[in-house]
A = this chain, B = another copy of it.
Amino acid sequence: MNIGQASKASGVSTKMIRYYESIGLVRPADRTDSNYRSFGPCEVNELRFIRRARNLGFSVEEIGKLLSLWRDRERPSREVKAIAQSHVADLDARIAEMQAMADTLRELARCCAGDERPDCPILADLAEA
């Protein structure tokens, strides 16, 4: 399986596969005689794992930890849960922050006529708040 096929099978772009290898997130792939990367089902599974973790918003650093726990059949689930929970806390904090922004802006927009007149509470707020 070359990199293009591994990409299709895993849903990770070829660019990203090379990048993950370059930063050490995955082990360097085997090479064919002509220096092409060669992937087996095991490597493709790892790439899929990475893609799913990215879809859940984990950083590459967190994924590194999750991967090594995944590879370790003796890992305590406690460690995985801790990473997940800290990530959830992180997500929640960012959600709350953005929610506050959206609420403020919605309120300002609600008070804005939104017509041809220049009076605008949104700009007034940005200028003087």
Contacts and interface: CB of A to CB of B under 8 A. Distances in A.
Interface of A: 45, 48-49, 52-53, 55-57, 66, 69-70, 72-78, 80-82, 84-85, 87-88, 91-92, 94-95, 98-99, 101-102, 104-106, 108-109, 112-120, 122-123, 125-127, 129
A102 to B, nearest CB: 4
Given A98-B57, A105-B87, A77 B114 contact: yes
B102 A52 contact: no
Kindly name the residue among A52, A92, A95, A126 whose own CB sees the greatest number of chain B CB atoms within 10 A: A126
B76 A112 contact: no
19 contacts: A52-B126, A55-B101, A56-B126, A69-B123, A70-B126, A73-B118, A76-B116, A76-B117, A77-B114, A77-B116, A77-B120, A80-B120, A81-B112, A81-B122, A82-B114, A84-B122, A85-B109, A91-B105, A95-B102
